[in-house]
Structure formats: C-alpha cells, structure tokens
Amino acid sequence: MTISWLQASILGIFASLSSMPGMAGSTIGNYTLGRPLVGGLVCGLILGDLKMGIAAGVAMQLVYIALVTPGGTVSADVRAVSYIGIPLAMVAIHSQGLAATSANAADLAKSMGTLVGTVGTVLFYGTATMNLVWQHMGWRAVERGEFRKLYAVDWGYPWISHLIFSFIPTVLMTHFGSSAVQALKTALPMDGIPMKTLFTVGALLPCVGIAILLKQIVDGPVDFIPFFVGFTFAASLKLNLVSVTVVSLIFAMISYKLDMAINTNRQAAPANTGGTVDDEEDEDI
C-alpha cells in the first residue's frame, strides 16, 4: 500500500478542515472531522480500506477521547493524529501483513498516533501564529471602515496558513512517509526508551488538559472538593459519566438553594457586614 499524490492531497484538505483553528468551523471541523473515529472513516474511504481505517481510528480515538483544548491550549494536534497518523499507520499495518482489527495493529496505530500527535502541536502553533498576519490586515480594514474585508480575513486568508501548516506537511508526510514507516519499527522498537517515553507522555498529557480546565473552575482548595468527589465516584465506585452527572445534580440543587438563601439574607441585612457570609469568605476556608 502506498499513498499517491492525489490521495495525499485529499488528506491534506481534510487536515486543513479539521485542525484546531480549522477551516470547517469547530462543530463540523475540529469536533467532527478531527476526531480520530471519523478520521478513520475518511482515511479508510480515501485509501480504499474502510475496515482497517476504522480499526486504526478506533484505537487512536480511545487515546484522545477526553481531548479538551481550553483557551487554545492544544496538548495533541488532531489534524496530525487523524490525517497523518492514521494513513501512515494503515500503510505500516498493511506492509506487515497484520489483520486490520488485531491487537498488534491497534498498538501500532496508537504509537503512530501519539508520535505525530505530540509533534503536531508545532503545526497548531504555526497556524495560529501565521494568522496574526491576516488579523493585522483585519485591524487596518476596521480602522478604515472597510468591514466587508472582515469576511476575507476570517474565512479566506487563513487558508494560506493552512496551506503551509496543514496541507503541505500532510501531503509530504503521507506521501513520502510510507517508505519511512517501514524503518520506524526497527528504528524505534516498542520496548526502547523513545517509544516508552512517547507513550508515557501520551498518558501524562491529558493531565495538562484537565488541569487547564481545573484552573478555570478552581479558585481555592474548597473548589477541589466537587472535583475529587466526582473522581472518587468514577474511580472507586466505577460510576460512568452519565451516572456521575446525575448524582452531581442533587449537589447542584443544594448549591443553588443555598446560594439563594444566602442571597436573600444578604438583602435582608444590607447594613450588617461584620461576619456575614460572602464569596470571598467561602473561598478562603
């Protein structure tokens, strides 16, 4: 199995559409086309082996299922995972004659995904940085009152960023990578330091994502309590996410009623400030 220029180009377009800031909008782009599960379907169709594409996508999706990018903090880049990683994984699996849905194939896919996923964050930062150029043009348009130019700035010019940081890298890596893939397995054995480290990093990185999320939610130590209670419910009691959410609702209800009670009270005693409850106090415990 090799990847032709044409196939590589189609992959490049999908990479441009699905990246974080991608050209298809986050709903259709990053959150749909960017998910490895969907990427597997797309790559399977493009490379003509649907089953293997899906299988590789499923394996990678499991690794990145909780990927959140709060405030544009990207710990792994899905354009690279889905449209460079999956195709290369498919080539490798194929050339080694592994069964599409075998465990070995899945592991190979994961290693390819983690490898390009972390490396791919460079592409994300490249794209976002280049967009500064178009934004600069945008500000000048605003100053001059040429508002219609905003459409070009928001919808058009960023394609140039993607040509450079999504399309070209994808095309080159998928087209030429196929030959390099063969070497990868020998050069980077799974029980060697580099691969082990790579996978360990892959396991550790989601911590950053969750931590960034926590930064938005947590102000003082008390705010950690709901987090840890939820963690305990899932980790110790094996509650699934829907059940955790259901249980959390009763605490939300209590919190709401409590705050309303405190509120009313504060209105009732506007002059009495010494010793009253206020948020600052709540968070300082």
Partner 1 sequence: MENTGKKISRKTLNKSFHHWFYGHLTAFSQEHMQTFGYLTSMLPIVEELYDNKEDQEKAMKTYTAFFNTEPQLGSIIVGITASLEEARANDGHVDDATINGLRAGLMGPIAGIGDSLVVGTLIPVILGIALGMSDGGSPLGAIFYIIVWNLLGYFGMRFAYFKGYELGDKAVGILVGAQGKAIRKAIATVGGMVVGGVAATWVTVKTSFTLRNGSGKAYLVLQDKLDSVYPGLLTAAFIVLCWWLMAKKNISPIKVMLILVVVALIGVLTGFFNPGLKY
Reading the block at residue 6, the tokens are: 């044409």
Site residues for ligand MAN per CB under 6 A = 69-72
What is the footprint of partner 1 within residues 119-148 (CB under 8 A)? 119, 121, 125, 128-129, 131-132, 134-136, 138-139, 142, 145, 147-148
Rounded-to-integer distance, Cα 252 and Cα 59, Å: 35
Contacts of 1 (CB under 8 A, 6+ apart): 47, 49, 90, 91, 94, 95, 178
Q: Which is nearer to a second copy, 184 or 262 (CB)?
A: 262
Q: Is 241 in the site for a second copy (CB under 8 A)?
A: no
- What does 169 bind: ligand MAN, partner 1, a second copy, none (CB cut-off 5 to 8 Å by kind)? none
- What does 222 bind: partner 1, a second copy, ligand MAN, none (CB cut-off 5 to 8 Å by kind)? a second copy
Among 1, 9, 13, 70, indicate the residue that binds partner 1 (CB under 8 A). 70
Closest residue by Cα to residue 74 from 26, 8, 144, 19: 19
Q: Which is nearer to a second copy, 160 or 253 (CB)?
A: 253
Burial class (CB in 10 A: 0-12, 13-18, 19+), 18: buried
- What does 172 bind: ligand MAN, partner 1, a second copy, none (CB cut-off 5 to 8 Å by kind)? none
In the chain, what is the straight-line distance between the N-terminal and C-terminal CA atoms, in Å? 62
Q: How far is the CB of 254 from a second copy (least distance, A)?
A: 6
